[in-house]
Amino acid sequence: MRRLLLLQVLLLAAFVPPAAAQQLLDWSADEVRAVGRHGPWPPPPVRDPSNRVSGTPAGIALGEHLFNDPRLSGNGQMSCAICHQAGRDWSDGRAKGFGTVDLHRRTPSLWNVGYAHWFGWDGAGDSLWAQTIRPIEDPQEMGSSVARIAGLLRDDKDLACGYRRAFGGAAGNDDELLLVDAAKALAAFQETLVTPRTRFDAFRDALVAGDRAASARYPLSEQRGLKLFVGTGNCDTCHFGPRFTNGEFGDVGIAFFVRPGEVDSGRLGGLARLPGSPFNLLGRYNDDASGANTARTRHVQRLHTNFGEFRVPSLRQVGRSTAYMHDGSIATLEEVVRHYAEVNPDRLHSDGTPLVRPLGLSPQERTDLVAFLRSLDADPPRRAPPPPLCP
């Protein structure tokens, strides 16, 4: 009798297909909606109305050449691509940036940057092209000048030709306008840096479509981590939407001391610089005559709670990074999750109910959260070198 039972059990086991190892957790309607809000991916291509060469092939081509051209810098050796390297997810593989001197912030990846609405860790830029002017002029980064950029666009045969094709006329005598146009072409190029679909995207689409078989291909650990992310972890209040950022600012308890006695005030400092910039969207270089894109800049308010806030980073490709947070102070994703699990509430200086609180999290939950975050990574296709501007 016992033998027979054993045989039955063995037979049963033999008939369970290996795919049964894959399972689908129970997903409530609310959870499915929350997951669905992290798509679609890829989003529609960027068209920035403040930039008349946004989305144009000739603008993008000029921008890619400028991006790789060290002559843009004061010493002729520093291109954008030195710090934002294609092979390093458009960052530099370092914890903190390095220009003519050590910088105190990490070089952010440029993936999906065209979809943002504030730029830089402190949001001092309100358009991608305005943000692009900053490193060109910054003596600690490229240390260049308006005259140098304008001269290149006028006098270099290829760049002058690329300029004509992109902007429909020869580079003129207004140096500042030429600097802005160079930045707009650079922005048009950066807008094309969109990450591929990920394992998470396949799961999201299958879950929303009610395709259980396809959903169950997403490993259980990732599913559990995602549940935490949109559930008790509260992560998606800030890491919201298809890019996993609401594009705004937050304080998650990262130290803001640059060195003893010197602080990085983050968003507060960014807001101090924004109104004075001749390149903000309220200025004369905004190509959208309707002014429809100026509302954010006009209505921005400077509050004391902005002190020590930094822009919420996108989490796409996050597992491929070599350092985390605005100052590169956390080295691994595991440590980022530990930070959220054990964050010291006294370090957060938000008013009202803090959005971040120590989550505790069991070792299994920490592993799950990291597994989910890693499912937002995908290998980008190899890039071919750009064809000549004007063959």
Which residues contribute to the site for ligand HEC (CB under 6 A)?
A: 78, 80, 82-84, 97, 99, 103, 105, 107-108, 110, 113, 116, 119-122, 128, 131-132, 135-136, 141-142, 186, 190, 229, 233-235, 237-239, 250, 252, 254, 310, 312-313, 315, 318, 321, 324-326, 336, 340, 355-356, 359, 369, 373
Nearer to ligand HEC, 22 or 265 (CB): 265
Nearer to ligand HEC, 119 or 163 (CB): 119
- The minimum distance between CB 7 and ligand HEC, in angstroms, equals 48
- The minimum distance between CB 133 and ligand HEC, in angstroms, equals 8
- The minimum distance between CB 349 and ligand HEC, in angstroms, equals 12
Please give the structure tokens belonging to residue 149: 């950029």
Strands 262-263 and 257-259 turn out to be: antiparallel
Nearer to ligand HEC, 18 or 352 (CB): 352
Nearer to ligand HEC, 135 or 219 (CB): 135
Strands 310-311 and 249-250 turn out to be: antiparallel
- The minimum distance between CB 126 and ligand HEC, in angstroms, equals 11
- The minimum distance between CB 6 and ligand HEC, in angstroms, equals 46
User: Among all chains, which residue has been given the structure tokens 């997810």?
Assistant: 89
Task: List C-alpha distances in Å: 61 to 166, 187, 238, 365, 386.
Answer: 8, 11, 34, 46, 8
- The minimum distance between CB 1 and ligand HEC, in angstroms, equals 53
Nearer to ligand HEC, 214 or 341 (CB): 341
What's the chain's length in residues? Answer: 391
- Count CB-CB contacts under 10 A for residue 99: 18
Nearer to ligand HEC, 207 or 228 (CB): 228
Distance CA 193, CA 238 (A): 23
Distance CA 66, CA 60 (A): 10
Distance CA 210, CA 200 (A): 15
Strand locations in the chain (E): 249-250, 257-259, 262-263, 310-311
